[in-house]
Structure 1
Amino acid sequence: MSHPDPTPRDPALAPLYSPARVRELLTRHGLKPTKSLGQNFLIDGNILRAIAEAGGAQPGVPVLEIGPGLGVLTQEIARRGAQVTTLEKDERLRPVLAETLDGLEVQVVWGDALNFDYASLPAGTRVIANLPYYITGLLLSRFMRAPGIVSATVLVQKEVAQRLAAKPGSDNYGFLSAIASLYGSVRHVRDVPKGAFFPAPDVTSSVVRLDFDRSRPAPEPEFLSFVETALHHRRKTLRNNLRLGGFEGEAIDEALAAAGLRGDVRAEDVALGDLRDMAVKLGVVR
């Protein structure tokens, strides 16, 4: 006995995340994914559901999305009852999003995500997004500094995910790891194969969730600059990095000794608490 084919023959009736539907939408609107904008559209329903679930998309929760593209992830989040604001730079997508988000409670803000006022977001906002790879680090630091954002569940390059979750002393540890732990915690959700996207990117991706602890005082800008200087050249010693940052050698040696650190210690091996002690000793922060 033959079974009917569960996939609709008409691509326009297929789920929005199916490759046939994505191609049909792009063709009908005369569009091609733009590499310079990091446009790789998700075409895996299981991963879409996993991102929305891990991100906390629930009824009444304010959610911010960056780069909705064709609205695939946007639809998944909005259908869970979240109050979605989504930022899109590519004006060519206006007619597509008008179609795919029709009838859903979604506010589309047209413009560059780097120019958006993240401080204006309501308390309890959760970011859920497939981030454009070329501005991932910049956007994550904006999310961390925005008091209303409590978490960011994002799709990023796998190597970025590894850096975010790295601890002092590990190969991937750097400034991104340090600021992530200064603002909160990082959890790896799952890896995402290249085939989950159209077109397939050159790299494997990962979903990570960052939770920001807003009960802690935010790190001072001076301390963040100090940490960035300390970790600027990964293969250099902490002493050399601080010398390049304009600190006097004798003062650095005294601060290292006071923190109980060797003179040749690499910055990536130093715990944040010890860097804090050095920053105090060097008069960067109180």
Structure 2
Amino acid sequence: MTTDLPTPTSDPIGPSPAPSAPLYSPARVRQLLTQHGLRPTKSLGQNFLIDGNILRAIAEAGLSGGPAQGTPVLEIGPGLGVLTREIATRGAQVTALEKDEKLRPVLAETLAGLDVQVVWGDALDFDYASLPPGTRVVANLPYYITGVLLSRFMHAPAIVSATVLVQKEVGQRLASKPGDDNYGFLSALAALYGSVRHVRDVPKGAFFPAPDVTSSVIRLDFDRSAPLPPRELLKFIESALGHRRKTLRNNLRMIGHQGAAIDAALEALGLRPDVRAEDVPLDTLRDLAGRLGVLG
């Protein structure tokens, strides 16, 4: 990952009269798109929120647990500025990362007079280590890069929480516990870094254009008082959970551990030889990694 956006540019927003219709109104969204000669770009995951109740629920969930005034907030993909405006009007200091340069005139209009800094560039190239301490992510994430972005949020010590709109299936995986049908590496990763709360599901009709799937609002809170999990542990857990239909023993043999050592470690931890990793608590997987010499 690069340390900065390539040719980063940012736009402070200046004063301008507020529109008479709410920004999330379907008529207002269509007006903005027509006025600026735009259409939603599917490849960038552009689905704009048009439900005021959902909008307020996301902002409230994202800013709860502390004073909103002056809170640093990072948004990914502000689009027309619908969610951005809702967060900023509650007193947060918003940094919004936007890749689509065609949205410059729209955001200059819709975010006028608010404490918002728009940074133009790809969220995958952003230096998340540069954020101020106590930053909260509040965003309608592009679905095609959700997993990558969540991983980067987890690894950025300055980010204390992420309240995000994701595909419902991803939300279920994030909130799953060992033994659940949807439990996998993403579930384990979220639990290693903190806790997950399902806020609410969001129907397709809350967006324009409507996506192909139902969405969920999920809040992840990261425990920054704990040390970051060692890279070796992350790789071990990812490999252990890599093939759901295989036993934990077979998955570990695939990455080079000897059968006899695995058998001895499983027995010492009271695990069946045919146990699957998705049924094993995280603390037990950590103990197993230690017994197999993964953690040094």
TM range (shorter): over 0.9
* CA positional deviation for 1:207: 0.4
* CA positional deviation for 1:155: 0.5
1:236-259 C-alpha deviation (Å, 9 max, x unpaired): 110111111222222211221122
How far apart are the structure 1 equivalents of 2:29 and 2:255? Answer: 49
Find the counterpart in structure 2 of residue 69 from structure 1: 79
1:155-170 equivalent positions in 2, closer than 5 A? 155-170=165-180
Find the counterpart in structure 2 of residue 123 from structure 1: 133
SS of aligned partner of 1:246: coil
* CA positional deviation for 1:14: 1.6
1:172 and 2:179 are equivalent in the alignment: no
| Code of the aligned partner of 1:36 | S
1:1-286 equivalent positions in 2, closer than 5 A? 13-56=20-63, 58-286=68-296
| Code of the aligned partner of 1:18 | S
State, as a whole percentage, how many aligned pairs show the same letter.
80
Verify the 8 A CA contact 1:190 1:208 in the aligned structure 2.
Answer: yes
Verify the 8 A CA contact 1:13 1:21 in the aligned structure 2.
Answer: no
Verify the 8 A CA contact 1:70 1:93 in the aligned structure 2.
Answer: yes
**Mean alpha-carbon deviation: is it higher for 242-251 or for 158-167?**
242-251
1:89-120 C-alpha deviation (Å, 9 max, x unpaired): 11111111111111111011111111111111
Verify the 8 A CA contact 1:125 1:148 in the aligned structure 2.
Answer: yes
How far apart are the structure 2 equivalents of 1:191 and 1:215? Answer: 30
RMSD: 1.0
Which structure 2 residue ranges, 5 or more long, are not aligned? 1-18
| Code of the aligned partner of 2:25 | S
1:22-77 C-alpha deviation (Å, 9 max, x unpaired): 11111111111111111100000111111001101711100000000000000000
How far apart are the structure 2 equivalents of 1:36 and 1:258? Answer: 50
How far apart are the structure 1 equivalents of 2:250 and 2:223? Answer: 32
Q: Which has the higher contact order (CA 8 A, sep 6+)?
A: 2
Verify the 8 A CA contact 1:184 1:213 in the aligned structure 2.
Answer: yes
* CA positional deviation for 1:124: 0.6
How far apart are the structure 2 equivalents of 1:44 and 1:241? Answer: 45
Task: Number of aligned residue pairs: give it.
Answer: 275
How far apart are the structure 1 equivalents of 2:124 and 2:262? Answer: 36
* CA positional deviation for 1:271: 0.6
| Code of the aligned partner of 1:146 | A
How far apart are the structure 2 equivalents of 1:115 and 1:283? Answer: 35
How far apart are the structure 2 equivalents of 1:251 and 1:22? Answer: 61
How far apart are the structure 2 equivalents of 1:177 and 1:27? Answer: 41
| Code of the aligned partner of 2:280 | V
| Code of the aligned partner of 1:21 | R
Verify the 8 A CA contact 1:189 1:206 in the aligned structure 2.
Answer: yes
Verify the 8 A CA contact 1:43 1:197 in the aligned structure 2.
Answer: yes
How far apart are the structure 2 equivalents of 1:140 and 1:209? Answer: 11
Which structure 1 residue ranges, 5 or more long, are not aligned? 1-11
How far apart are the structure 2 equivalents of 1:110 and 1:245? Answer: 41
Structure 1-normalised TM-score? 0.94
